[in-house]
Amino acid sequence: MPRAATTSDVFNAIAEPRRREIINALAGGTAVAVGELVKRLRLSQPAVSKHLGVLRKVGIVSVAKHGQRRVYRLNARELKPVHDWVKTHERFWSHQLDRIQERAERAAAERLASVNQHPKKKEK
């Protein structure tokens, strides 16, 4: 089997450095035209359009017609699966907090965010 398609999921989409650059360029929240991205990334226009196409298919960005140009906006919510997955392993590098304190911290955060209703994470 060959490598999975970049459009298969978010993890594959963000594996490409240029696409992460595009995402970073859109991090401000405002929509940016393709030409503007071409300038910032110093990449050819077709290349940028193709990367945007990948990000579009995965849902990370959305387009809107604005005159004769297309402005792209970041839909960062699609990055949440990545965040959630990585966060599972966060305790391994946050050494300033040991297990007990981490649990306390989490409890404090949940108290403050009383609105949220995540299922509680199990810990041995």
Partner DNA sequence: TTGACATATTCCTATATGGGAATATAATTC
Partner DNA sequence: GAATTATATTCCCATATAGGAATATGTCAA
Give residues in contact with DNA (CB under 7 A): 1-7, 15-16, 18, 33-35, 38, 43-54, 63, 65, 67-71
- Cβ proximity to DNA, 69 vs 87, nearer residue: 69
Residue 73: its H or E element: strand 69-74
Q: Is 14 in the site for a copy of itself (CB under 8 A)?
A: yes
Residue 64 interface partner, choices DNA, a copy of itself, none, CB cut-off 5-8 Å depending on type: none
Helical H segments across 32-89, by residue range: 34-41, 45-58, 80-87
How far apart, in Å, are the Cα atoms of 56 and each of 59, 63, 66, 112, 123? 5, 8, 17, 35, 37
Assigned token pair, 71: 């402005």
* Contact residues: a copy of itself, CB under 8 A: 3-4, 6, 9, 11-12, 14-17, 20, 23-24, 27, 29, 74, 76-77, 79-80, 82-83, 85-90, 92-93, 96-98, 101, 104-105, 108-109, 112-113, 115-117
